[in-house]
């Protein structure tokens, strides 16, 4: 099917309009005149009404209401087309102005027919080449969109890997839609004895099957709920899932719990293994994903206390009341045992709060009470189980951000198994509490708002330069990952949101000057691509930069 070259002719003399129309149509059937209009205002209205569906604009220079040069200038702000000026004024100044405004050609009246046809033939070649280029760009964009989920999954896999250098990724969250997210961690439980005889090929096959089961469950969940979903392998025996939604009213925790159960049951049904799944708290900023990772890893260590083939939720364990029964507790426990269980739960929660608030004397006093209650239980199983439970809750408060902090929980728990006396167990927990509180105090000493103010000042002074997370964090001598979390905690907005807002506000100021071109404004606020800048500005202001300037 031949695509016609849609042409608009603008001249205040009807006779000339008709003559140019006949000339255009005589150039071949691929040419189509879609409108002949008498002034620039009519032409601009037509362009707006047709959403710029025009290939060639042929216009006179001198016309009432709006002249041709103004028409080209205004229309070019919104639409892409080839302009041609026709004028009876043989004036070099007009030619210079026309070229500055983007006119591709300039012809004098009376129009020479052969010269006109030659010019249109040249323009036809340019427009066909432009269409081919546009089709190639669109195809490239389509292919890029198809590959986007794979790129996103690769990024997520990198961020949840050990030893990541997240600052090298820059503003990686731009690849993801805005909204709330929930991270799930699935880990194989203790392997059956027969698995010791598995070969490397056996494990490769099983791991591949596990990965595909999880991907299928996540895909089905995505189709059924409309939520976004990604899954990837963490190691040979652990897997990660991220779900998200742009709708903040969606109960993501409930959706995550349902998905976790589906994963757990599917693997239990189709594989000779079981998995436990831990669910971190929802986050509204993907820069907090490393923090969610630490939470999910820490939660998995409740498996030591509560058993395997389970789902562990941050929402439940953070506010643990201690009513969860240990694996050795019977359903028909006596009333006194239930009361003791409740008191231990309340004490554990108070200890956690005291540690979080760095109330050292209170934490030590509550720890003595906790172990006094444990001693009264008289059950070694209960003592070890409850001590491990308390240890996990305390270590979950570790905000050091160091890699391996969460993974050390299991080693810490094993250290309790090696303790022979209750007093030694209490001393071990006391040392752990002191270390966590020291870390919190250190964070608070560093936690004045001064670094944030310094970072904001640096951003304001460098809006047109490199504002990568690493560069900003370097100015305040902070780890980039921790800086992202810290900045959001102190300001209520992400680093990216703050940088973008500052740049858009600066752009708004620059747009007040009608002489400054959009390309110059875009570069001045740090964007080399004016189209990308315009897209960001419209998302921020609700209108394009050109429209904003018009309204101002």
Q: Which of the pair, 68 or 264, is modelled with greater confidence?
A: 264
Q: Which of the pair, 328 or 287, is modelled with greater confidence?
A: 287
Q: What are φ and ψ of residue 491, in 5° steps?
A: -110, -20
Report how far apart, in Å, the C-alpha atoms of 457 and of each of 296, 476, 490 are: 35, 11, 15
Rounded Cα–Cα distance for residues 273 and 279 (Å)? 20
- Confidence (pLDDT) at 219: 94
Q: Work out the pLDDT band at 241, boundaries 50, 70, 90.
A: very high
Please state, rounded to an integer, the average pLDDT across all residues of the chain.
81
- Confidence (pLDDT) at 180: 92
In the predicted model, what is the mean pLDDT of residues 270-295?
Answer: 88
166 close to 159: Cβ distance less than 8 angstroms? yes
450-509 pLDDT, tens digit per residue, is 788 889 999 999 998 888 888 888 888 777 777 887 788 777 788 888 999 999 999 999
Rounded Cα–Cα distance for residues 109 and 537 (Å)? 42
- Confidence (pLDDT) at 378: 65
- Confidence (pLDDT) at 413: 67
Which residues neighbour 459 within 8 Å (Cβ) at sequence distance 6 or greater? 467, 472, 498, 499, 502
Find the range with the poorest average confidence among 42-56, 153-167, 259-273, 297-311.
Answer: 153-167
Rounded Cα–Cα distance for residues 528 and 330 (Å)? 67
Find the range with the poorest average confidence among 45-49, 199-203, 206-210, 231-235.
Answer: 199-203
Residue 380 burial by Cβ neighbours in a 10 Å radius (0-12, 13-18, 19+): exposed
Q: What percent of the chain has pLDDT over 70?
A: 83
Residue 401 has pLDDT above 50, yes or no: no
- Confidence (pLDDT) at 320: 42
H/E run at residue 267: helix 252-270
Find the range with the poorest average confidence among 44-48, 449-453, 492-496, 543-547.
Answer: 449-453
Q: Work out the pLDDT band at 332, boundaries 50, 70, 90.
A: very low
- Confidence (pLDDT) at 330: 41
78-135 pLDDT, tens digit per residue, is 888 888 888 776 655 666 666 666 555 777 778 888 888 888 888 888 888 877 877 7
Residue 394 has pLDDT above 50, yes or no: yes
In the predicted model, what is the mean pLDDT of residues 504-531?
Answer: 89
Would you state the structure tokens that stand for residue 272, as one six-digit string? 């000779």
- Confidence (pLDDT) at 67: 86
Residues in the chain: 552
170 close to 467: Cβ distance less than 8 angstroms? no
Q: Work out the pLDDT band at 402, boundaries 50, 70, 90.
A: very low
Q: Which of the pair, 267 or 413, is modelled with greater confidence?
A: 267
Residue 264 has pLDDT above 90, yes or no: yes
245 close to 228: Cβ distance less than 8 angstroms? yes
Residue 328 has pLDDT above 70, yes or no: no
- Confidence (pLDDT) at 405: 42
Q: Which of the pair, 474 or 250, is modelled with greater confidence?
A: 250
In the structure, how many helices (H) and strands (E) does the chain have?
A: 22, 10
Q: Work out the pLDDT band at 359, boundaries 50, 70, 90.
A: confident
Find the range with the poorest average confidence among 225-229, 347-351, 396-400.
Answer: 396-400
- Confidence (pLDDT) at 417: 63
Q: How many of the other CB atoms lie within 10 Å of CB of 156?
A: 22
- Confidence (pLDDT) at 170: 64
- Confidence (pLDDT) at 69: 84
Cis geometry, peptide bond prior to residue 110 (ω within 30 degrees of 0): yes
Q: What percent of the chain has pLDDT over 90?
A: 24
- Confidence (pLDDT) at 181: 95
- Confidence (pLDDT) at 91: 58
**Domains parsed from the chain with CATH numbers:** 5-135 (3.40.50.2300), 160-318 (3.30.70.270), 320-445 (no CATH), 450-551 (1.10.10.60)
Alpha-helical regions (H) of 301-334: 303-306, 314-318
Q: Work out the pLDDT band at 396, boundaries 50, 70, 90.
A: confident
Would you state the structure tokens that stand for residue 401, as one six-digit string? 């951000």
Rounded Cα–Cα distance for residues 293 and 527 (Å)? 32
308 close to 274: Cβ distance less than 8 angstroms? yes
3-state secondary structure of 402: coil
- Confidence (pLDDT) at 277: 95
**Ordered strands of the 82-87 beta sheet:** 31-37, 5-10, 56-60, 82-87, 105-108
- Confidence (pLDDT) at 407: 43
In the predicted model, what is the mean pLDDT of residues 26-45?
Answer: 91
Which residues neighbour 206 within 8 Å (Cβ) at sequence distance 6 or greater? 198, 271, 273
- Confidence (pLDDT) at 306: 75
């Amino acid at each position: 099917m031949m695509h016609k070259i849609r042409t608009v002719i603008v001249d205040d003399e009807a006779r000339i309009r008709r003559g140019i129309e006949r000339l255009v149509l005589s150039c071949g059937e691929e040419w189509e005149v879609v409108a002949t209009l008498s002034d620039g205002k009519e032409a601009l209205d037509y362009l707006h009404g047709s959403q710029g569906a025009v290939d060639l604009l042929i216009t006179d220079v001198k016309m009432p209401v709006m002249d041709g040069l103004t028409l080209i200038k205004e229309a070019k702000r919104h639409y892409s087309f080839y302009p041609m000026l026709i004028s009876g004024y043989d004036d070099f100044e007009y030619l210079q102005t026309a070229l500055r405004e983007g006119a591709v050609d300039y012809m004098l009246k009376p129009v020479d027919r052969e010269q006109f046809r030659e010019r249109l033939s040249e323009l036809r070649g340019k427009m066909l080449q432009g269409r081919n280029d546009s089709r190639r760009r669109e195809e490239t964009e389509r292919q890029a969109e198809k590959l986007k989920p794979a790129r996103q999954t690769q990024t997520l896999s990198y961020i949840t890997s050990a030893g990541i250098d997240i600052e090298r990724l820059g503003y990686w969250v731009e690849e993801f839609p805005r909204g709330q997210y929930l991270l799930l961690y699935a880990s194989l439980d203790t392997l059956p004895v027969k698995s010791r005889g598995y070969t490397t090929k056996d494990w490769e096959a099983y791991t591949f099957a596990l990965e595909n089961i999880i991907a299928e469950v996540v895909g089905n969940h995505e189709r059924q709920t409309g939520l976004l979903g990604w899954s990837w392998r963490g190691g040979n025996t652990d897997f990660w899932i991220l779900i998200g939604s742009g709708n903040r009213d969606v109960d993501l925790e409930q959706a995550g719990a349902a998905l976790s159960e589906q994963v757990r049951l599917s693997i239990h049904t189709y594989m000779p293994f079981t998995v436990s799944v831990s669910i971190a708290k929802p986050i509204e900023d993907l820069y907090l994903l490393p923090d969610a990772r630490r939470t999910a890893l820490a939660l998995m260590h409740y498996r030591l206390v509560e058993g395997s083939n389970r789902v562990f939720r941050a929402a439940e364990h953070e506010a643990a009341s201690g009513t969860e029964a240990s694996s050795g507790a019977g359903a028909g426990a006596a009333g006194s045992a239930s009361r003791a269980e409740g008191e231990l739960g309340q004490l554990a929660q108070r200890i956690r709060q005291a540690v979080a608030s760095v109330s050292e004397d209170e934490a030590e006093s509550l720890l003595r009470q906790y172990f006094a209650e444990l001693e009264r239980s008289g059950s070694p199983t209960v003592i070890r189980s409850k001590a491990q439970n308390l240890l996990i809750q305390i270590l979950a408060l570790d905000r050091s951000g160091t890699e391996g902090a969460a993974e050390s929980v299991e080693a810490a728990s094993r250290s309790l198994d090696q303790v022979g006396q209750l007093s030694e167990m209490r001393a071990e927990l006391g040392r752990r509490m002191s270390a966590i509180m020291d870390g919190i105090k250190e964070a608070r000493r560093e936690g004045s708002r001064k670094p944030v103010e310094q970072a904001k000042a640096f951003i304001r002074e460098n809006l047109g330069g490199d504002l990568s997370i690493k560069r900003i964090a370097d100015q305040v001598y902070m780890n980039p990952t921790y800086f992202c979390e810290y900045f959001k905690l102190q300001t209520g907005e992400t680093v990216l949101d703050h940088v973008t807002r500052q740049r858009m506000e600066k752009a708004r100021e620059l747009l007040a000057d009608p002489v400054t071109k959009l390309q110059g404004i875009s570069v001045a606020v740090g964007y080399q691509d004016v189209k990308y800048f315009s897209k960001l500005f419209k998302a921020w202001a609700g209108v394009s930069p050109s429209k904003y300037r018009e309204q101002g």
